Amino acid sequence: MVTLTELEQYTNTLLNTAKIADYAPNGVQVRGRATVNRLVTGVSACLDLFQAATAQQADLILVHHGMFWEKDPRVVEGGLKKRLKWLLDHDISLMAYHLPLDCHPQLGNNMQIVQRLQLAKGAPFGLYRGTHLSCMGHYDSAMPLAAFVERVRVLFGGEPLVLPFGPEQIRHVALCSGAAPELLREAKQSGADLFLSGEATEHVYHFAKEEGIHFVAAGHHRTEMFGVQVLGDHLASRFGIQHQFVDIPNPL
């Protein structure tokens, strides 16, 4: 068992939250009971996750996508009201770590993808407000696009969107989890054969085709499942608490 305050202070330091500019608050978003024995992690704060965590008798829910964002209205109503009411009624705390969990050099979503796709880590990539969110990766031996896409299918599940406009053989890969199609230009400038992210926007089709680079979108939710699981396991080991990851499927 650990106090919520101690766990938050440790995690804030671990993920270097004070030095990473974000557009969402990181750390505790809803403060419930003072101690934590059972931790449930998930990708996004939602009522389905909260209900599942309650069934697991969780004291704390830790997510990548929290409930509060800079551009959101400041009125508590609708889904936000339902979520807050559930947490308050059941005295469950909520913590969220967004960009600090994307870019952590060991636990982060992007480094987990690099490792699980068996890429060798390269130069920093994905500059945002003074922080590199990810890195370049490469293979010692090039592989066909189809072989790389199959690795993506196996790792993330589902069917990725593939814009096959790059070279026949893949060696240099740029990646950034979640919604980062705007980094396609940086990927091309960095010498990538392929850029992997979670989401696509309309403009990437013509840019990829005209610039000769592959673009693969494997799903926002699916590309951000790993970091929160690894962080939960780390906290469980560090503080001797129980941890369960709960996946609430999201096809987007």
Report domain extents, the chain.
2-97+225-244, 103-221
Domains 2-97+225-244 and 103-221 share a fold: yes
CA atoms of 117 and 139, how far apart (whole Å) = 10
The answer to whether 242 touches 233, Cβ cutoff 8 Å, is: no
CATH superfamily of 2-97+225-244: NIF3 (NGG1p interacting factor 3)-like (3.40.1390.30)
For the chain, the residue count is: 252
What are the pLDDT digits (tens) for 178-232?
A: 999 999 999 999 999 999 999 999 999 999 999 999 999 999 999 999 999 999 9
How crowded is residue 216: how many other Cβ atoms within 10 Å of its Cβ? 24
Q: Is 125 helix (H, G, I), strand (E, B) or coil?
A: strand
**Model pTM score:** 0.96
The answer to whether 131 touches 103, Cβ cutoff 8 Å, is: yes
The pLDDT value given to residue 25: 96
The pLDDT value given to residue 84: 98
How crowded is residue 229: how many other Cβ atoms within 10 Å of its Cβ? 18
Fold of 103-221: 3.40.1390
The pLDDT value given to residue 171: 98
